[in-house]
Amino acid sequence: MKDEIPKLDTLEEILELALKKEQASFRFYDKLLNSTKVSILKDIFEQLRDEESKHIQMIKRKLSSIKLGKG
């Protein structure tokens, strides 16, 4: 099954997978945003894309702190 979650042993592995999922969602909403001319849809897709961007930055910060031993 494609959406099956693999066995993850460390917090770093979990966050790396979460980061990939958030980046995929960002790309998805960005494509939708750029493929529509409907104003309300553009607003919605932009908001959703921007939320994914926030999640990406949050996960990256946490990964950095883990890699620096502050996790």
Under the banding of pLDDT at 50, 70 and 90, the label for residue 8 is confident
Please say if the pLDDT value at position 52 is more than 70: yes
The b/e string for 9-33 (b: 16+ C-beta within 10 A; e otherwise) is eeeeeebeebbebbeebbeebbebb
For residue 52, count CB atoms less than 10 angstroms from its CB and return exposed for 0-12, middle for 13-18, buried for 19 or more.
buried
Task: Report if pTM > 0.75.
Answer: yes
Under the banding of pLDDT at 50, 70 and 90, the label for residue 45 is very high
User: What is the length of the chain?
Assistant: 71
pLDDT exceeding 70 applies to what percent of the chain?
A: 93
